A and B are shown apart, each in its own frame.
Chain A
Amino acid sequence: MSGRVRRLLARTFLAAAAAASAGCAAMKVEPWDRDLLAEKKMSFTPAPLESAIDDHVYFSKEGSTGGQGVGGGGCGCN
Protein backbone atom coordinates (compact mmCIF):
# COMPACT_ATOMS: atom_id res chain seq x y z
CA MET A 1 0.00 0.00 0.00
CA SER A 2 1.43 3.30 -1.00
CA GLY A 3 1.92 6.06 1.56
CA ARG A 4 -0.67 8.21 -0.14
CA VAL A 5 -3.42 5.61 0.07
CA ARG A 6 -2.54 4.92 3.68
CA ARG A 7 -2.73 8.63 4.50
CA LEU A 8 -6.09 8.91 2.79
CA LEU A 9 -7.38 5.90 4.71
CA ALA A 10 -6.16 7.36 8.00
CA ARG A 11 -7.85 10.67 7.27
CA THR A 12 -11.09 8.99 6.28
CA PHE A 13 -10.99 6.99 9.50
CA LEU A 14 -10.39 10.17 11.51
CA ALA A 15 -13.25 11.97 9.81
CA ALA A 16 -15.58 9.03 10.37
CA ALA A 17 -14.54 8.78 14.03
CA ALA A 18 -15.14 12.51 14.52
CA ALA A 19 -18.57 12.29 12.88
CA ALA A 20 -19.48 9.21 14.93
CA SER A 21 -18.46 10.74 18.24
CA ALA A 22 -20.28 13.97 17.44
CA GLY A 23 -23.43 11.95 16.80
CA CYS A 24 -23.95 11.71 20.56
CA ALA A 25 -24.02 15.50 20.78
CA ALA A 26 -27.29 15.55 18.87
CA MET A 27 -28.94 13.34 21.48
CA LYS A 28 -30.90 15.26 24.00
CA VAL A 29 -33.28 14.54 26.86
CA GLU A 30 -36.44 16.45 26.07
CA PRO A 31 -37.73 18.74 28.84
CA TRP A 32 -40.89 16.67 29.28
CA ASP A 33 -38.78 13.52 29.77
CA ARG A 34 -36.71 14.86 32.64
CA ASP A 35 -38.90 13.57 35.45
CA LEU A 36 -36.52 10.82 36.53
CA LEU A 37 -33.46 13.03 36.11
CA ALA A 38 -35.08 15.64 38.36
CA GLU A 39 -35.43 13.18 41.23
CA LYS A 40 -33.31 13.75 44.29
CA LYS A 41 -31.63 10.37 44.02
CA MET A 42 -30.28 11.37 40.60
CA SER A 43 -28.26 14.28 41.96
CA PHE A 44 -24.49 14.04 42.40
CA THR A 45 -24.86 14.06 46.19
CA PRO A 46 -28.28 12.61 46.93
CA ALA A 47 -27.47 12.47 50.66
CA PRO A 48 -25.35 15.55 51.54
CA LEU A 49 -24.97 14.60 55.21
CA GLU A 50 -23.87 11.09 54.42
CA SER A 51 -21.31 12.25 51.88
CA ALA A 52 -19.98 14.86 54.35
CA ILE A 53 -19.42 12.07 56.90
CA ASP A 54 -17.77 9.91 54.24
CA ASP A 55 -15.51 12.81 53.33
CA HIS A 56 -14.57 13.33 56.95
CA VAL A 57 -13.65 9.67 57.40
CA TYR A 58 -11.69 9.76 54.15
CA PHE A 59 -9.59 12.84 54.83
CA SER A 60 -8.99 11.84 58.46
CA LYS A 61 -7.68 8.45 57.36
CA GLU A 62 -5.66 9.71 54.46
CA GLY A 63 -4.43 12.95 56.00
CA SER A 64 -5.58 14.69 52.88
CA THR A 65 -7.82 17.62 53.71
CA GLY A 66 -8.86 19.10 50.40
CA GLY A 67 -8.41 15.82 48.60
CA GLN A 68 -12.08 15.95 47.67
CA GLY A 69 -11.87 19.29 46.01
CA VAL A 70 -11.94 21.63 49.03
CA GLY A 71 -9.06 24.01 49.68
CA GLY A 72 -6.88 23.17 52.69
CA GLY A 73 -3.63 21.64 53.86
CA GLY A 74 -2.63 18.03 54.26
CA CYS A 75 -1.93 18.01 58.00
CA GLY A 76 -4.75 15.58 58.77
CA CYS A 77 -5.41 17.53 61.96
CA ASN A 78 -9.14 18.07 61.61
Chain B
Amino acid sequence: MKRGSPLLAAAFLALLLLTLAPIAHAAAPARGAVAPSFTLPTATGSVSLDSLQGNVVLVDFWASWCVPCKSSFPWMTAMHQRYGPKGLAIVAINVDKSRKSAQEFLEKHPAPFIVAYDPDGKTAKAYHVWGMPTSYLVGHDRAILFSRSGFDPKHAKDVEAMIAQACAR
Protein backbone atom coordinates (compact mmCIF):
# COMPACT_ATOMS: atom_id res chain seq x y z
CA MET B 1 0.00 0.00 0.00
CA LYS B 2 1.24 3.48 -0.81
CA ARG B 3 2.18 5.58 2.16
CA GLY B 4 -0.34 8.43 2.73
CA SER B 5 0.96 11.94 2.49
CA PRO B 6 1.08 13.67 5.88
CA LEU B 7 0.39 16.93 4.08
CA LEU B 8 -2.82 15.60 2.58
CA ALA B 9 -3.81 14.20 5.94
CA ALA B 10 -3.25 17.63 7.50
CA ALA B 11 -5.30 19.25 4.74
CA PHE B 12 -8.10 16.77 5.35
CA LEU B 13 -7.99 17.51 9.07
CA ALA B 14 -8.09 21.25 8.40
CA LEU B 15 -11.09 20.71 6.12
CA LEU B 16 -12.85 18.69 8.79
CA LEU B 17 -12.15 21.25 11.51
CA LEU B 18 -13.31 24.13 9.36
CA THR B 19 -16.47 22.28 8.42
CA LEU B 20 -17.21 21.70 12.07
CA ALA B 21 -16.34 25.28 13.04
CA PRO B 22 -19.87 26.70 12.64
CA ILE B 23 -21.27 23.88 14.75
CA ALA B 24 -18.76 24.55 17.51
CA HIS B 25 -19.50 28.26 17.24
CA ALA B 26 -23.19 27.59 17.85
CA ALA B 27 -22.53 26.26 21.35
CA ALA B 28 -24.88 27.72 23.93
CA PRO B 29 -23.58 29.58 26.95
CA ALA B 30 -22.95 27.14 29.76
CA ARG B 31 -25.48 26.75 32.51
CA GLY B 32 -24.35 28.81 35.46
CA ALA B 33 -22.50 31.34 33.29
CA VAL B 34 -23.13 34.97 34.13
CA ALA B 35 -25.71 36.47 31.77
CA PRO B 36 -24.17 39.27 29.67
CA SER B 37 -25.54 42.65 30.67
CA PHE B 38 -27.41 44.78 28.15
CA THR B 39 -29.09 48.15 27.83
CA LEU B 40 -31.58 48.28 24.99
CA PRO B 41 -34.24 50.70 23.80
CA THR B 42 -37.91 49.94 24.31
CA ALA B 43 -40.95 51.68 22.84
CA THR B 44 -41.03 54.15 25.74
CA GLY B 45 -37.46 54.28 27.04
CA SER B 46 -34.83 51.67 27.73
CA VAL B 47 -34.29 48.52 29.73
CA SER B 48 -31.16 47.00 31.18
CA LEU B 49 -30.49 43.70 32.87
CA ASP B 50 -29.01 45.57 35.84
CA SER B 51 -32.26 47.49 36.36
CA LEU B 52 -34.05 44.16 36.83
CA GLN B 53 -31.84 43.10 39.70
CA GLY B 54 -33.80 41.10 42.23
CA ASN B 55 -36.00 39.58 39.54
CA VAL B 56 -35.81 36.27 37.77
CA VAL B 57 -35.51 37.33 34.13
CA LEU B 58 -36.65 35.43 31.07
CA VAL B 59 -34.66 36.86 28.18
CA ASP B 60 -36.29 35.85 24.90
CA PHE B 61 -34.87 36.70 21.49
CA TRP B 62 -37.53 36.86 18.78
CA ALA B 63 -38.21 38.15 15.29
CA SER B 64 -41.36 39.03 13.35
CA TRP B 65 -40.52 36.46 10.66
CA CYS B 66 -40.06 33.66 13.19
CA VAL B 67 -42.95 31.21 13.05
CA PRO B 68 -42.65 29.56 16.52
CA CYS B 69 -42.57 33.05 18.09
CA LYS B 70 -46.26 33.31 17.27
CA SER B 71 -46.99 30.53 19.74
CA SER B 72 -44.37 31.57 22.28
CA PHE B 73 -45.94 35.00 22.81
CA PRO B 74 -49.25 33.76 24.28
CA TRP B 75 -47.25 31.41 26.52
CA MET B 76 -44.99 34.23 27.69
CA THR B 77 -48.07 36.34 28.36
CA ALA B 78 -49.43 33.55 30.58
CA MET B 79 -46.08 33.28 32.37
CA HIS B 80 -46.02 37.05 32.86
CA GLN B 81 -49.48 36.99 34.43
CA ARG B 82 -48.77 33.94 36.60
CA TYR B 83 -45.22 34.66 37.78
CA GLY B 84 -44.93 38.43 37.34
CA PRO B 85 -46.22 39.02 40.88
CA LYS B 86 -43.74 36.38 42.12
CA GLY B 87 -40.74 38.23 40.69
CA LEU B 88 -40.48 37.15 37.08
CA ALA B 89 -39.58 39.79 34.50
CA ILE B 90 -39.81 38.91 30.83
CA VAL B 91 -37.67 40.82 28.35
CA ALA B 92 -38.51 39.94 24.75
CA ILE B 93 -35.64 41.21 22.61
CA ASN B 94 -36.60 41.81 19.01
CA VAL B 95 -33.86 41.39 16.39
CA ASP B 96 -35.77 42.71 13.37
CA LYS B 97 -33.90 45.20 11.23
CA SER B 98 -37.02 47.33 10.87
CA ARG B 99 -39.04 48.45 13.87
CA LYS B 100 -42.13 48.51 11.66
CA SER B 101 -42.21 44.73 11.13
CA ALA B 102 -41.83 44.23 14.88
CA GLN B 103 -44.74 46.57 15.54
CA GLU B 104 -46.92 44.73 13.01
CA PHE B 105 -46.16 41.47 14.83
CA LEU B 106 -46.95 43.03 18.20
CA GLU B 107 -50.32 44.27 16.94
CA LYS B 108 -51.29 40.68 16.18
CA HIS B 109 -49.54 39.15 19.19
CA PRO B 110 -49.79 41.62 22.05
CA ALA B 111 -47.05 41.57 24.68
CA PRO B 112 -47.84 42.83 28.19
CA PHE B 113 -44.17 42.25 29.15
CA ILE B 114 -41.07 44.29 28.28
CA VAL B 115 -40.17 44.40 24.58
CA ALA B 116 -36.70 45.67 23.72
CA TYR B 117 -35.09 46.25 20.34
CA ASP B 118 -31.70 44.98 19.22
CA PRO B 119 -31.64 45.58 15.43
CA ASP B 120 -27.85 45.19 15.20
CA GLY B 121 -27.93 41.84 16.99
CA LYS B 122 -25.21 42.93 19.44
CA THR B 123 -26.97 41.49 22.46
CA ALA B 124 -28.00 38.41 20.48
CA LYS B 125 -24.33 37.89 19.66
CA ALA B 126 -23.30 38.33 23.28
CA TYR B 127 -25.80 35.62 24.23
CA HIS B 128 -24.68 33.32 21.37
CA VAL B 129 -28.25 33.05 20.11
CA TRP B 130 -28.34 30.05 17.81
CA GLY B 131 -31.95 30.06 16.59
CA MET B 132 -35.23 31.93 16.70
CA PRO B 133 -36.61 32.13 19.29
CA THR B 134 -33.95 31.47 21.93
CA SER B 135 -34.72 32.03 25.59
CA TYR B 136 -32.56 32.23 28.68
CA LEU B 137 -33.75 32.03 32.23
CA VAL B 138 -31.57 34.27 34.39
CA GLY B 139 -31.67 33.75 38.15
CA HIS B 140 -31.48 36.24 41.00
CA ASP B 141 -27.69 35.94 40.98
CA ARG B 142 -27.52 36.72 37.21
CA ALA B 143 -26.52 33.13 36.46
CA ILE B 144 -28.08 31.49 33.38
CA LEU B 145 -30.27 28.71 34.77
CA PHE B 146 -31.54 27.44 31.48
CA SER B 147 -31.47 28.17 27.76
CA ARG B 148 -33.44 26.78 24.88
CA SER B 149 -33.88 27.46 21.21
CA GLY B 150 -37.24 27.10 19.51
CA PHE B 151 -40.64 26.87 21.14
CA ASP B 152 -42.41 23.57 21.68
CA PRO B 153 -45.69 23.63 23.65
CA LYS B 154 -44.85 20.09 24.79
CA HIS B 155 -41.83 21.38 26.72
CA ALA B 156 -43.51 24.53 28.00
CA LYS B 157 -44.56 22.77 31.22
CA ASP B 158 -40.93 21.89 32.06
CA VAL B 159 -39.85 25.47 31.49
CA GLU B 160 -42.72 26.72 33.63
CA ALA B 161 -41.59 24.40 36.44
CA MET B 162 -38.11 25.88 36.17
CA ILE B 163 -39.50 29.42 36.30
CA ALA B 164 -41.58 28.52 39.36
CA GLN B 165 -38.55 26.99 41.06
CA ALA B 166 -36.36 30.02 40.28
CA CYS B 167 -39.00 32.44 41.60
CA ALA B 168 -39.38 30.43 44.80
CA ARG B 169 -35.65 30.59 45.53
A residues sitting closer than 8 Å to B (CB atoms) are 11-12, 14-15, 18-19, 21-23, 25-28, 30-35, 38-39
CB-based contact A32/B121 at 8 Å:
yes
Q: Is B66 at the interface (CB under 8 A from chain A)?
A: yes
Please, which residue of chain A has its CB at the minimum distance from the CB of B94? A32
CB-based contact B21/A26 at 8 Å:
yes
A38 contact from B65, B124, B125, Cβ within 8 A = B65
Interface size counted on chain B using CB atoms at 8 A: 31
Min CB gap A18→B, angstroms = 4
Give complex CA distance A37, B33 in Å.
32
CB-based contact B131/A31 at 8 Å:
yes
Min CB gap A56→B, angstroms = 30
CB-based contact A18/B11 at 8 Å:
yes
Interchain residue pairs A-B with the least CB separation, the first 4: A32-B121, A32-B95, A15-B11, A22-B18
A28 contact from B22, B101, B134, Cβ within 8 A = B22
Known A22-B19, A30-B129; 13 more pairs at CB < 8 Å? A12-B7, A15-B10, A18-B12, A19-B11, A19-B18, A26-B18, A30-B124, A31-B131, A35-B64, A35-B65, A35-B97, A38-B65, A38-B66
Give complex CA distance A14, B4 in Å.
14
Give complex CA distance A25, B63 in Å.
26
Give complex CA distance A22, B20 in Å.
10
Chain A interface, >50% SS class = helix
Give complex CA distance A23, B95 in Å.
27
CB-based contact B15/A31 at 8 Å:
no
Give complex CA distance A38, B66 in Å.
8
Q: For B18, what are the chain A residues with a Cβ–Cβ distance below 8 Å?
A: 19, 22-23, 25-26
Please, which residue of chain B has its CB at the minimum distance from the CB of A26? B21
7 contacts between A and B (CB under 8 A): A15-B11, A22-B15, A23-B18, A28-B22, A31-B134, A32-B125, A32-B132
Q: For A11, what are the chain B residues with a Cβ–Cβ distance below 8 Å?
A: 5, 7-8
Q: For A38, what are the chain B residues with a Cβ–Cβ distance below 8 Å?
A: 63, 65-66
CB-based contact B8/A15 at 8 Å:
yes
B6-34: which have CB < 8 Å to A?
Answer: 7-8, 10-12, 14-15, 18-19, 21-22, 25
